[in-house]
Structure 1
């Protein structure tokens, strides 16, 4: 009995006018991510999907590795997610980021150009293809996978099994061809057509499984599903309109930049107190109007909490005291504070400040653990920051340390 005789082949019928697709064992795709200890298989499948149009002929594995790095870039470089303790793909991304100096929001086009010019890429490509191209086929050849060690030799054994089955009823999705110093990937007959016809379905499956994998390794991080790729263009236009209305209602006293204490200029910008690349939302409670110079300086840093968190809370306490709060904004505040909209008018400034401390400090600690730069302060506040540290303030002893003040000043 052949290794795969216990599993029936899946028959896919092409639409009229298309070339018939042979028997394909597509059901095995559902098991490729069982018992994964690293991210390689997820990004390997995502890379295959991305380069499908190029698979008219066998492709070098380096081509797929390049796409693996591009797909992993946002999760590692921008959102600072962990791909696993011993995951070498994330080490590769960090090495590229360090050597190239590319900003975290670099486009895929810039990343590919940097990879083409990166002298260390061949070494990384060789390391990343030692196991994954062969071990990815284990779902199609489980017996061979059980009988071979999880090393380069075992991967080569799986390569041999897949090569013998290539194009037959028990074929896997591809075979690997060794040619001089290169390893090529050739899709089996019918697989390119099937993957193309079902691309959205397979892509959604791969991204869902990757999100589950990443959430397990970043258990307290918000919005992991939104951190699989570079963000698309976003707009804070509504938030800016709301802040402009709030500033206008403040009258002669006006509002100040909570970080510089300077009066807000007409061309103010909207800043995320906790970096957007950590929270991946534009909830109003995390926003503050700031001068453009402040926004550029703060970037994706975590502010010094003992200095600025009371100011953020005080700013939003002032907003809540204004009349005619829009119902959508009231509901957003109520959801953040854990109260009903009708209770907002009765919240004291001290309660609001303490609630901000309870809710924001743990999030800031998680972000700091991920590697987001912490303890940022405006240059003008340097002396205040040092005073807090000398007095045993939270910033000297850890981000999550909390002090409750009788008077926040």
Structure 2
């Protein structure tokens, strides 16, 4: 993906900001700059930019548990602020941003101000590259001084507590804001995928979805029919007897990890326990056999039902041969789920107790 061309501006230098990236701060810094420029701000407080960086990374870190790398300051900041401020994972972005901008908590303020040590000036490195004999301290001082003169058509001028967008960039940033943000997210997804090679659907985990997709189709066209055939089903977690009107569909491997609603990962469970389970991981040694048995029973009931044929295609992602053989294999299913659950556990998802 490329940034929109401009004959007047050094677009290559803006793209070059992502050329040598070992952490996520460059992506989130530019996203924050664009968001605030969209609000017609040219003079932007660094505190507001740092708050926006945290808010944009919030859901990716705290809900999806995507790893940014052990040394990444943004991931650690997001995790620490969650505890320090006693916030919820699902706090709205606007409310979180405002809270961070207005915080009186010294610990939170210290975390935010720490980004000032490196982020604002190193982002301008493509405009002001380091010379062979120059120390990092000397380069930082030079970047501040040169940017205030808007040398090399740099993106912004740097001051202690704020930045001022170079006027020659303002129109470009505002006109192309969506494309530039897409460019950031595209590069961010590549960066994070390289650090989470076995985590599915990284691009879907960069922005909090407005609404999660409904499971009404999977319920009405599949599990309701299974209940009509069986009468009742025992919840695989609580052994509660479930009827057609007192169950909810749950993701066996949490939706926050897999980011899909494929039928092979959905199971009817007891409503109250669904709240308790939340995004916790099942214990394969305790829950898989019951999960598999119910999945297989449901599949055998629905295999020849004309209403379910489109939905049944979901199973082909783990049983490519199923359509021809009808062989719903225990070992194949378990081998597909085992690494997903292990990776999710390693990424910070907790397990059901006992």
TM-score by length of 1: 0.79
Query: Within 5 Å, which residues of 2 pair with 1:67-106?
Result: 67-106=52-91
State the 1:231 CA deviation: 2.1
Please name the residue that 1:49 is paired with. 34
Matched, 1:371 2:353: no
Query: Is 1:100–1:114's contact at 8 Å kept on the other side of the alignment?
Result: no
List per-residue Cα deviations over 1:252-287 (Å, max 9, x = no partner): xx2121111111141311101111111111111011
| RMSD value, Cα | 1.9
State the 1:37 CA deviation: 1.1
State the 1:299 CA deviation: 0.6
The 2-side partners of 1:245 and 1:310 are apart by: 22
Q: Which range is displaced more, 317-326 or 201-210?
A: 317-326
Matched, 1:294 2:273: yes
The 1-side partners of 2:131 and 2:242 are apart by: 64
Matched, 1:129 2:116: yes
The 2-side partners of 1:107 and 1:75 are apart by: 13
State the 1:113 CA deviation: 4.2
The 2-side partners of 1:287 and 1:226 are apart by: 19
State the 1:218 CA deviation: 1.2
Rate the CA distance shift 1:77–1:11 in 2: closer, same or farther, 3 A.
closer
Q: 1:221 aligns with which of 193, 199, 215?
A: 199
Aligned partner of residue 231 in structure 1, secondary structure? coil
Matched, 1:154 2:139: yes
Provide structure 2 residue ranges, at least 5 long, that are not aligned to the other structure.
Answer: none
Rate the CA distance shift 1:95–1:145 in 2: closer, same or farther, 3 A.
farther
Aligned partner of residue 234 in structure 2, secondary structure? coil
The 1-side partners of 2:316 and 2:9 are apart by: 53
List per-residue Cα deviations over 1:42-73 (Å, max 9, x = no partner): 10001011111345441111110000000111
Query: Is 1:77–1:94's contact at 8 Å kept on the other side of the alignment?
Result: yes
Query: Within 5 Å, which residues of 2 pair with 1:357-368?
Result: 357-368=334-345
State the 1:309 CA deviation: 0.9
Please name the residue that 1:245 is paired with. 225
State the 1:335 CA deviation: 2.3
Q: 1:311 aligns with which of 290, 293, 302?
A: 290
State the 1:214 CA deviation: 0.6
Please name the residue that 1:207 is paired with. 185
Aligned partner of residue 85 in structure 1, secondary structure? coil
Q: Which range is displaced more, 107-116 or 120-129?
A: 107-116
The 2-side partners of 1:59 and 1:90 are apart by: 23
The 2-side partners of 1:39 and 1:134 are apart by: 15
List per-residue Cα deviations over 1:353-386 (Å, max 9, x = no partner): 2222211111110001001002x15xxxxxxx5x
Rate the CA distance shift 1:155–1:213 in 2: closer, same or farther, 3 A.
same
Q: 2:159 aligns with which of 152, 177, 182?
A: 177
Provide structure 1 residue ranges, at least 5 long, that are not aligned to the other structure.
Answer: 1-9, 13-22, 378-384, 386-409
Rate the CA distance shift 1:338–1:77 in 2: closer, same or farther, 3 A.
same
Query: Within 5 Å, which residues of 2 pair with 1:237-386?
Result: 237-241=216-220, 242-251=222-231, 254-265=232-243, 266-323=245-302, 324-325=304-305, 326-344=308-326, 346-347=327-328, 352-374=329-351, 376-377=352-353, 385=354
TM-score by length of 2: 0.91
Aligned partner of residue 167 in structure 2, secondary structure? coil
State the 1:135 CA deviation: 0.8
State the 1:330 CA deviation: 2.6
The 2-side partners of 1:232 and 1:246 are apart by: 31
Aligned partner of residue 59 in structure 1, secondary structure? strand
Q: Which range is displaced more, 241-250 or 213-222?
A: 241-250
State the 1:340 CA deviation: 4.1
The 2-side partners of 1:233 and 1:218 are apart by: 25
